[in-house]
Amino acid sequence: MATATTLPYRRVYVWELPVRVFHWVNAISIVLLAVTGFLIGWPQTIWMSDEPYQQYWFGWVRFIHFAAGYIFFFNLLFRVYWSFVGNEYARWSSYIPHRKEQFLNAWETLKVDILQTKEKGKISVGHNYLAALTYLGLFFVMLFQVVTGFGLYAGMSDAWLPWLFAWIVPLMGGDAWVRQWHHIAMWAFVVFTVIHVYLSFYHDVVEGRGTISAIVGGWKFERDDEFDK
């Protein structure tokens, strides 16, 4: 019977609960921010027949954007904290490249996943280093969005937090230019999301280790002999 080839697997608790919560809060706030941000950039015309005192929908769109911005920022701060106290898959050291094998793994992943050569080495349990590098890059885009977003917000806010980022405005030559770059960087999230969602499904289908369900339940499945490599 074909069951003769069945291999033993181990369950690995890869994504701890805080990491999963971060992921989904982050995902939801990014979707909210992108949608409302796009509307703020180019508002759609609806309910044209009413008088201004009868509606406030654009005000609400902006409110959602600013509120989601705060949530996004504090969520990100929490994730930075967790990268110092979390498990090895969540640690800063698995994102910031500082070892030669990380680069080798990134190159290997590029060959296997993108150029689609045959898998040779060990499949990473957590992120492969190419993915880790992408998240590191995205982290900087997120920081950029936080700085430019709050920098823009500072002009209409008395809260102290946005004013921490007001320095970006003169640096970039005025609100209009900060707004321009804030808008461009939004597209980085759109492009990232397309690739990220696709590759998660791809890995789940090709490797069959529960990549998709891992971000809900936290578990991944690893072949027993992989641990000996």
Partner 1 sequence: MENQVPSIWGAMKAKGYSRREFMYFCGVAIAAAGLERSGFGQVVNAFETKPRPPVVWLHFQECTCCSESFIRSSHPIVADVIFDTLSLDYTETLQAAAGTQAEKSLKDTMEKNKGKYILLVEGSVPLLEDGICCTIGGRSALEILKEAAADAAAIVAWGNCASHGCIQAAKPNPTQATPISKLIKKPVINVPGCPPIAEVMTGVVTHLLIFGKPPELDSRGRPKEFYSRRVHDTCYRRPFYDAGLFVENWDDDAARKGYCLYKMGCKGPTTYNACAVTKWNQGLGYPIQAGHGCIGCSEEAFWDQGLYERLPKFPGFGIESTADTVGRTATVVTAAGVGLHAIMSSIRKRKVIEENMDESVNINPPKPGSAMPADSVDEGGDAS
| Site for partner 1 contains 92 (CB under 8 A) | no
**What is the tally of helices (H) and strands (E) in the chain?**
8, 2
Stretch that binds partner 1, among 22-30, 51-59, 69-77, 83-91 (CB under 8 A): 51-59
Alpha carbon distances (Å) from 9 to 4, 209, 223: 15, 9, 4
CA–chain centroid gap for 205, Å, is 21
| Site for partner 1 contains 180 (CB under 8 A) | yes
Nearest residue to 109 (alpha-carbon basis) of 134, 140, 92, 142: 134
In the complex, the smallest distance separating the C-beta of residue 204 from partner 1, rounded to whole angstroms, is 11
Stretch that binds partner 1, among 55-63, 83-91, 100-108, 210-218 (CB under 8 A): 55-63
Touching partner 1, residues 110-129 (CB under 8 A): 114, 116, 119
The CA distance from 114 to 7, in Å, is 27
Give SS3 for 157.
coil
Stretch that binds partner 1, among 15-23, 78-86, 95-103, 182-190 (CB under 8 A): 182-190
The CA distance from 114 to 102, in Å, is 17
Give SS3 for 66.
helix
| Site for partner 1 contains 8 (CB under 8 A) | yes
| Site for partner 1 contains 164 (CB under 8 A) | no
Stretch that binds partner 1, among 48-56, 74-82, 131-139, 141-149 (CB under 8 A): 48-56
Q: Pick from 13, 58, 81, 92: which binds partner 1 (CB under 8 A)?
A: 58
Nearest residue to 14 (alpha-carbon basis) of 102, 122, 88, 101: 88
Contact of 84 with 92, CB cutoff 8 Å: yes
In the complex, the smallest distance separating the C-beta of residue 140 from partner 1, rounded to whole angstroms, is 18
Count CB-CB contacts under 10 A for residue 203: 19
Contact of 215 with 67, CB cutoff 8 Å: no
Which residue lies nearer to partner 1 by CB, 47 or 100?
47
Q: Pick from 35, 179, 215, 218: which binds partner 1 (CB under 8 A)?
A: 179
Which residue lies nearer to partner 1 by CB, 80 or 190?
190
Q: Pick from 85, 159, 161, 184: which binds partner 1 (CB under 8 A)?
A: 184
Which residue is it, tokens 């500072």?
Answer: 154
The site for partner 1 (CB under 8 A) is made up of 1-11, 41-43, 45-48, 50-59, 61-62, 114, 116, 119, 155-156, 166-167, 169-170, 173-177, 179-180, 183-184, 186-187, 190-191, 194-195, 198, 202, 205-208, 224
